[in-house]
Structure 1
Amino acid sequence: MTRQPGTGVRELRTAADLLRTLESGCYTLPELYQLAERAGLADRADGRRIIQDGQEQYKRRIRSALQSLRRQGRARQDDDQSAAWLIEGTTARPRRALLLWLPGDPGQAELVLGAAATVLAQADEPIDLIVADPPYALGRGEHRSAYRRTYGRDHSQVLGGYIDVDPAAYADWTAEWIAAAGAALRPGGYLAVITGGQQAARVQVAAEDIAGLTYVNSIAVKRPFGLYSTRRYVHAHHRVTLMTRGPLDSPQRVFDRPTEMPRGRTGQIYAVDVWTDIPDERRPGLLRYDNALHPALVSRLVRSTTRRGDLVCDPFLGSGTTLVTCLSEGRRFLGGDLNPEALRFAMGRVLAEIIPALRPAVEQLALFDAHEVPA
């Protein structure tokens, strides 16, 4: 792995970097069962009892067992590794992944391999915010697509496996996953869908007519480099369709105006629906996923519509920007994708780039808590 000078943060530069990161920061289920046995979990009350899924009861307790071992320092692999992913499947094709990290609950971040509706159905509780950047049906994953010809970047550093949607099936597909999103939201929760202008109307109609959601905003986010055209206006913005479950005046609906937004004449925050300050997301010289949102965009959505500890879901995980944002902003996360490479990239990105950056602040907080004296 490569270290950025002066930052102590690792960067994913190649597929080999990604693989090494995952190999050093993942536990498979068989390994976890062995750890649970060593911890004596299997011999606790009813631990060996066969339950409904045909397995022993203690295997349902494996998450807490690993968390306990990590607190004791017995599951640490090296001094530089402060987090690990518990995976079902393999590092090449994870079916499910759970982030285990000492500062928080073991369920603070979970990834699922599957379609959007499947991911949304995995939530154990109503979701506070769903951030979705669905495929645009542009043929991104096809070798001869206009997208790949127009954006002639070095695709040797782009992970493969991107799964697009058949344009002819887009309406039905949109209706299916948005119906699942509406059912998964809590009253007052939000659905924020990032699309191009062409699909924004379809998203809003499906959210209103099928999912029964209420319109909140249509946010225009400036794109620094729109696709050049001589036959129509250049598409120079993304659209964020923001919907909520329930009426606009519901006391359950959170809205905190972002402090970085413009100010009125008397100093009040003027939260406008045109965002011109979001940069394009680039990773020059680094391994990257096929497409990515800039963290500033997702951070603004998360901070304005949720509170710390709330549950955020991204059913189109992609490069893991929403996951990264939630870890940074103290939100719990559930996400997924049809592409196993998306899960792998997001997992490696967290271990290599995010945890090292967050660790100093977390360690400082832990030190403060340890020395806190009750009044």
Structure 2
Amino acid sequence: MDKRIEAICGDAIAELQKMENESVNLIVTDPPYNLNKDYGTSQDKLKFEDYLEFSRLWLKEAKRVLKPDGTIYIFMGMKYISYIYIILEQELGMTFNSWITWYYTQGIGKTKGFSPRHDDILMFTKNAKKFVFDLDAIRVPQKYYRSVNNMRGANPGNVWEFSHMHYCNKNRKKHPTQKPEGLYERMILASSKENDVVVDPFVGSGTCLRVCQQTNRRGVGIDINPEYIEMTEERLLEEFKGFDSIDEKMKRCPNDLNDANVRIEYIENHIQLFLKNHPDAITEFLEEVKQKYLTKMIETGQIWIFDQYGVAI
């Protein structure tokens, strides 16, 4: 296994306590929501105050190990998210940055009340002003091309649309709360640099470490369940063919690419910038290019780009 990636079987709090002060650049994690999920070696069902104390203890250690310019992203269910917010801000003195909503089109069905279609992610930084945030690494294509906007696209905002990890997904593991790699890709690219240390204290199916592996980060994942550590290690040995999820906006081709030189430059840049970790999405992107610009591209001799990626004319 990649020596930059470490999967540790152990208790999250105890393993965090072993880490040096200010040694971690980024923490991205999906802790138990205390909703009675079956995690094999543990049942996610603590008393209310016990769950808050458990959260308080691991978050205290998380803050301690973060570097001064470090960031933490935490997935959390609606029942406890406000309490986690208070612990981070009021008790630990961290700075709130963003409340991210992950929107997905399918989820739990309810017959009385509205079916949930989103999860939430809290983003807090250790310092109010000095923290890593690489916007260029996570921009999304715009609907209309304008030269003043440059080819890097726009800020993705705080509502993210990624497909849920359906059981039919080829990358689905035997874990009850597996998250899409595209979500972790965005957070890790935004809030860390290559060779930075990224920690997931509740690594589960190994999504965080898989993304660290493919984005040249040093990843440390912790889980109390040895089966999940074994699952993670096996996942890290799999051939990489692209991340298992993508923001649908990454595949869209902007309107108004009327200048021939700008158009071909944009198409090539789009593939390199937006689809670098998503080779399976290139065909879909080029199909949209073809629908919008095929006639013009025939006239300007630019259809070679379709042949290059095996897209039929």
TM bin (shorter chain):
0.5 to 0.7
The structure-2 alpha-carbon separation of the partners of 1:306 and 1:161, relative to structure 1 and needing over 3 Å to count, comes to same
Looking at structure 1, the residues matched to 87 and 43 of structure 2 have their Cα atoms a distance apart, in angstroms, of 22
Looking at structure 2, the residues matched to 281 and 307 of structure 1 have their Cα atoms a distance apart, in angstroms, of 27
Instruction: Name the counterpart of 2:201.
Output: 315
The structure-2 alpha-carbon separation of the partners of 1:261 and 1:173, relative to structure 1 and needing over 3 Å to count, comes to farther
Equivalent residue in structure 1 for 2:10, among 94, 109, 114: 114
> Are the equivalent residues in 2 in contact too, given 1:132–1:192 (CA < 8 A)?
yes
Instruction: Name the counterpart of 1:32.
Output: none
Runs (5+) with no aligned partner, structure 2: 244-313
Instruction: Name the counterpart of 2:156.
Output: 271
Looking at structure 1, the residues matched to 65 and 217 of structure 2 have their Cα atoms a distance apart, in angstroms, of 17
Instruction: Name the counterpart of 1:343.
Output: 229
Shift of 1:171: 1.2
> Are the equivalent residues in 2 in contact too, given 1:179–1:210 (CA < 8 A)?
no
Looking at structure 2, the residues matched to 262 and 116 of structure 1 have their Cα atoms a distance apart, in angstroms, of 40
Instruction: Name the counterpart of 1:373.
Output: none
Shift of 1:279: 1.2
1:253 equivalent in alignment to 2:149: no
One-letter code aligned to 1:346: T
Instruction: Name the counterpart of 2:283.
Output: none
Shift of 1:161: 3.5
> Are the equivalent residues in 2 in contact too, given 1:191–1:243 (CA < 8 A)?
yes
Looking at structure 2, the residues matched to 165 and 246 of structure 1 have their Cα atoms a distance apart, in angstroms, of 33
Shift of 1:184: 1.0
Looking at structure 2, the residues matched to 119 and 317 of structure 1 have their Cα atoms a distance apart, in angstroms, of 13
Instruction: Name the counterpart of 1:227.
Output: 108
> Are the equivalent residues in 2 in contact too, given 1:120–1:313 (CA < 8 A)?
no
> Are the equivalent residues in 2 in contact too, given 1:119–1:335 (CA < 8 A)?
no
Instruction: Name the counterpart of 1:186.
Output: 67
SS of residue paired to 1:304: helix
Shift of 1:323: 0.4
One-letter code aligned to 2:101: A
1:282 equivalent in alignment to 2:282: no
Give the count of matched residue pairs. Answer: 234
Runs (5+) with no aligned partner, structure 1: 1-98, 143-159, 359-375
Looking at structure 2, the residues matched to 348 and 187 of structure 1 have their Cα atoms a distance apart, in angstroms, of 34
The structure-2 alpha-carbon separation of the partners of 1:113 and 1:233, relative to structure 1 and needing over 3 Å to count, comes to same
Equivalent residue in structure 2 for 1:166, among 40, 46, 49: 46
SS of residue paired to 2:238: helix
Looking at structure 2, the residues matched to 226 and 111 of structure 1 have their Cα atoms a distance apart, in angstroms, of 30
Looking at structure 2, the residues matched to 261 and 203 of structure 1 have their Cα atoms a distance apart, in angstroms, of 33
**Deviation sequence 1:85-140 (CA, Å, 0-9, x none):** xxxxxxxxxxxxxx4x4xxxx3x111222222223233356111101101111111
Shift of 1:262: 4.6
Shift of 1:234: 2.3
Shift of 1:351: 1.8
Shift of 1:183: 0.8
One-letter code aligned to 2:133: V
Shift of 1:346: 0.3
SS of residue paired to 2:237: helix
Looking at structure 2, the residues matched to 234 and 199 of structure 1 have their Cα atoms a distance apart, in angstroms, of 19
One-letter code aligned to 2:18: Q
Looking at structure 1, the residues matched to 77 and 63 of structure 2 have their Cα atoms a distance apart, in angstroms, of 21
One-letter code aligned to 1:196: G
Deviating more after overlay: 176-185 vs 229-238: 229-238
Looking at structure 1, the residues matched to 115 and 242 of structure 2 have their Cα atoms a distance apart, in angstroms, of 38
1:138 equivalent in alignment to 2:18: no
1:291 equivalent in alignment to 2:187: no
The structure-2 alpha-carbon separation of the partners of 1:171 and 1:225, relative to structure 1 and needing over 3 Å to count, comes to same
Looking at structure 2, the residues matched to 242 and 324 of structure 1 have their Cα atoms a distance apart, in angstroms, of 21
Looking at structure 2, the residues matched to 117 and 352 of structure 1 have their Cα atoms a distance apart, in angstroms, of 29
What percentage of residue pairs aligned between the two structures are identical? 24
> Are the equivalent residues in 1 in contact too, given 2:139–2:155 (CA < 8 A)?
no
The structure-2 alpha-carbon separation of the partners of 1:261 and 1:164, relative to structure 1 and needing over 3 Å to count, comes to farther
One-letter code aligned to 1:117: I
Looking at structure 1, the residues matched to 115 and 154 of structure 2 have their Cα atoms a distance apart, in angstroms, of 31
SS of residue paired to 2:72: strand
Alignment of 1:92-107 (within 5 A): 99=1, 101=2, 106=3
Looking at structure 1, the residues matched to 203 and 160 of structure 2 have their Cα atoms a distance apart, in angstroms, of 23
> Are the equivalent residues in 1 in contact too, given 2:135–2:155 (CA < 8 A)?
no
TM-score by length of 2: 0.68
Looking at structure 1, the residues matched to 188 and 106 of structure 2 have their Cα atoms a distance apart, in angstroms, of 25
SS of residue paired to 2:232: helix
**Deviation sequence 1:151-209 (CA, Å, 0-9, x none):** xxxxxxxxx43542414321111111111111111011011001222222121111112
> Are the equivalent residues in 2 in contact too, given 1:196–1:237 (CA < 8 A)?
no
Equivalent residue in structure 1 for 2:87, among 185, 206, 212: 206
SS of residue paired to 1:352: coil
The structure-2 alpha-carbon separation of the partners of 1:186 and 1:140, relative to structure 1 and needing over 3 Å to count, comes to same
